[in-house]
């Protein structure tokens, strides 16, 4: 099965917890702290793998987690790092964050990208030794790993896109000019998912994509819909195949107009750039028609469209060489669209918004404090260690949170809530 869209959730590993430990040896009084720090959590990477061709696996397995770091131990032993996780995706996969902004386009084979960073290990009590506190009973928990909810969308990387009505002979042409062997049959909707092939014409190599047939109303979901047009979004040229014996009781020219309209509906909805692509018209199945009828159609199409028109037979190969000549000629002048260009409803670059360090919201006698730094601190603090609690109070003071709480009018006995932790305020 060919799947080209999937939703996944990714979590990097949490850092290992730091350790509280003291040296205990015969004849060594006051041995001092020796609790090691935790190991770093594993990172999550995305790799564009040419051997992967669909996103199918991601629909079965949407959750990805890198390994957590190991906790630190006594005798100054640091915990081991968690193993990294590498997620393999097909080349041409675009990863988008939940908000819709494009994060990355995995369009180069073996491109590797860090998408979620593992948390650092929590410090052991060795790290908290100071002149004042020579026996620190304090350690940190490991930092949580980064989380990401994202959508993977596969957009095939082809140079030429074959479009047209069902049964027009797109797959037959693909089979004729490339080594691909798509299913070919005398009924509509034989091709259910995009097929790729590599064509070599006069020592120019290019990738051709054959997509399922379109019908009137495809933009509204009729037939197989128009979703798979995303696979021609990045092609340089479209070859529009028209069966000159007609399809669905329509004249060839009518069918041509109909499909062009569906493409522009898609363009309006998703990506206007698709309209800028050069279109070559290939009038197919000429072997079935008398020569004068073919000539009449060619003239008619030349009059009605500004596009180059070719009469071919995908079955016998007649006229295909001339079509490829023109394709190669146009090829050099056509430009590929960068998929990171702005698209309807999406922003091209990730915005980095500088957040205030913390925010305090008051509801009656409860003060809710939020902010990255404070939340991370909470996640890394052992509240059952007396000295850790002192360190936390110190943190509130140093970061101006206590002052801000007072300014908001906090009184003895009021509740302060941070994440899922609550405590009573004492002056
Ligand atoms: N005589 C003749 N038959 C052709 C030619 N091209 C395709 N056909 C036949 O037309 C039928 C449809 O061809 P396909 O290549 O499957 O058409 P398609 O455009 O891929 O169709 P879908 O995948 O259903 O959208 C098959 O029976 C082919 O053998 C041609 O040039 N001449
Ligand atoms: Mg087909």
pLDDT by residue (tens digit) across 212-267? 999 998 888 888 888 888 888 888 899 999 999 877 788 899 999 999 999 999 99
Nearest to 79 by CA among 42, 129, 128, 130: 42
For residues 113 and 404, what is the distance between their CA atoms, to the nearest angstrom?
40
pTM score over 0.75: no
Across 79-113, b (16+ Cβ under 10 Å) vs e yields: bbbbebbebebbbbbbbbeeeeebbbbbbeeeeee
For residues 126 and 133, what is the distance between their CA atoms, to the nearest angstrom?
11
**Number of alpha carbons in the 13 Å side-chain half-sphere of residue 181:** 0
What domains appear along the chain, each with residue ranges and CATH number? Answer: 1-155 (2.70.210.12), 160-333 (3.40.50.300), 359-424 (3.30.300.350)
Give me the pLDDT at residue 285, please. 94
Is 167's C-beta closer than 6 angstroms to any atom of ligand 1? yes
Give me the pLDDT at residue 361, please. 92
Tell me the CA–centroid distance for residue 308 and ligand 2, in Å: 23
Q: What is the DSSP letter of 40?
A: P
The whole-number average pLDDT for the span 367-383 is 91
**Percent of the chain, pLDDT > 70?**
93
For residues 416 and 396, what is the distance between their CA atoms, to the nearest angstrom?
12
| Closest ligand relative to 239 C-alpha | 1
Is 190's C-beta closer than 6 angstroms to any atom of ligand 1? yes
Is 245's C-beta closer than 6 angstroms to any atom of ligand 1? no
């Amino acid at each position: 099965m060919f799947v080209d869209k999937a939703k996944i959730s990714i979590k990097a590993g949490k850092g290992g917890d730091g350790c509280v430990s003291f040296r205990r040896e015969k004849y060594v009084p006051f041995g001092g702290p020796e609790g090691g720090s935790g190991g770093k959590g594993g990172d999550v990477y995305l790799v564009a793998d040419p051997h992967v061709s669909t996103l199918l696996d991601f629909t079965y397995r949407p959750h990805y987690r890198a390994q957590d770091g190991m906790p630190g131990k006594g005798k100054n032993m640091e915990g081991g790092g968690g193993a990294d996780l590498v997620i393999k995706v097909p080349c041409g996969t675009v990863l988008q964050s939940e908000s819709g902004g494009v994060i990355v386009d995995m369009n180069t084979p073996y491109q590797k990208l860090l998408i979620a960073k593992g948390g650092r290990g929590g410090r052991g009590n060795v790290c908290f030794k100071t002149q004042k506190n020579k026996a620190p009973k304090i350690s940190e928990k490991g930092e949580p790993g980064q989380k990401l909810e994202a959508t993977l969308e596969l957009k095939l990387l082809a140079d030429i896109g074959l479009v047209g009505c069902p049964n027009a002979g797109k797959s037959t042409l693909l089979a004729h000019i490339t080594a691909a062997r798509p299913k070919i049959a005398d009924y509509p909707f034989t091709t259910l998912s995009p097929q790729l092939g590599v064509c070599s014409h006069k020592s120019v190599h290019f990738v051709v994509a054959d997509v399922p047939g379109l019908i009137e109303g495809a933009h509204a979901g009729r037939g197989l819909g128009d979703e798979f047009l995303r696979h021609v979004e990045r092609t340089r040229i479209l070859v529009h195949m028209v069966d000159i014996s007609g399809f669905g009781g329509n004249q060839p020219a009518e069918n041509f107009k109909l499909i062009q309209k569906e493409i522009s509906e898609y363009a309006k909805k998703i990506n206007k750039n698709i309209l800028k692509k050069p279109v070559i018209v290939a009038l197919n199945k000429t072997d079935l028609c008398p020569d004068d009828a073919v000539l009449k159609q060619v003239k008619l199409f030349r009059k009605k469209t500004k596009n180059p028109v070719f009469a071919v037979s995908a079955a016998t190969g007649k006229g295909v060489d001339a079509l490829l000549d023109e394709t190669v000629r146009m090829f050099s002048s056509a430009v590929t669209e960068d998929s990171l260009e702005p698209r309807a409803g999406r922003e091209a670059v990730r915005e980095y918004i500088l957040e205030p360090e913390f925010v305090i919201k008051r509801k009656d006698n409860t003060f809710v404090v939020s902010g990255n730094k404070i939340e991370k601190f909470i996640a890394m603090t052992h509240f059952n260690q007396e000295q850790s609690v002192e360190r936390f109070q110190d943190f509130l003071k140093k970061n101006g949170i206590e002052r801000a709480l007072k300014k908001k009018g906090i009184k003895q006995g009021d509740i302060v809530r941070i994440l899922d932790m609550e405590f009573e305020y004492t002056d």
